Amino acid sequence: MDRVFGLSGFLVLPFWALMIFLPRSRWTRRIMESPLVIVAPALLYTALVLPAVGEVLPIVNRPSLPAVASLLGSPAGATIGWVHFLAFDLFVGRWVYLDSRDREISPWIMAPVLYLTLMLGPMGFALYLAVRAVAERSARARGAIAASLRAEEA
């Protein structure tokens, strides 16, 4: 289980590297547009959960703190949880990356946001929503200024 835990990051790190270090590359965009980037960690998660599904399902159906702590407190449970984090953080990071490129948000702003999403998924996602709101407000203000200048020229 130690080996699976240790190697699982290699299923997602190349995609994070592309999004953070080569965000403007058309290859990065093309690769990240495919939902298939999530398949490898999803399959690993499935392979880890299936043998333990009898133990896992009752816990997730009626979760309690002691039961979840017990599940995650074992090497197998911690590995399952870790791969789950990796898969879903990549899923969220992929959406954040694609949405930020569509909105033309600076890669210099997005690099730390994506890094935070990789390390602390929900916190990075919340930060992105704030960045996105500021970018939208800024775009509307620029549009209003441009319209005003055009009206003055006419």
104-146 confidence digits (pLDDT tens): 999 999 999 999 999 999 999 999 999 999 999 887 777 666 6
pTM metric for this prediction: 0.88
What integer pLDDT is reported at residue 101 of this predicted model?
A: 98
Q: What is the pLDDT of residues 66-89, one digit of tens each?
A: 999 999 999 999 999 999 999 999
Rounded to whole angstroms, the Cα distance separating 23 from 113 reads: 13
In contact, 10 and 32? CB cutoff 8 Å = no
Please compute the mean of the pLDDT values over residues 36-44 and round it to a whole number: 97
Structure tokens at 79: 């590995």
What integer pLDDT is reported at residue 153 of this predicted model?
A: 72
Residue 26 pLDDT class (50, 70, 90 cuts): very high
Number of neighbouring beta carbons within 10 Å of residue 32: 21
What integer pLDDT is reported at residue 148 of this predicted model?
A: 67
> CA 81, 82, 85: angle at the middle one, nearest 5?
90
Rounded to whole angstroms, the Cα distance separating 4 from 15 reads: 19
Number of neighbouring beta carbons within 10 Å of residue 15: 21
Structure tokens at 28: 């990065």
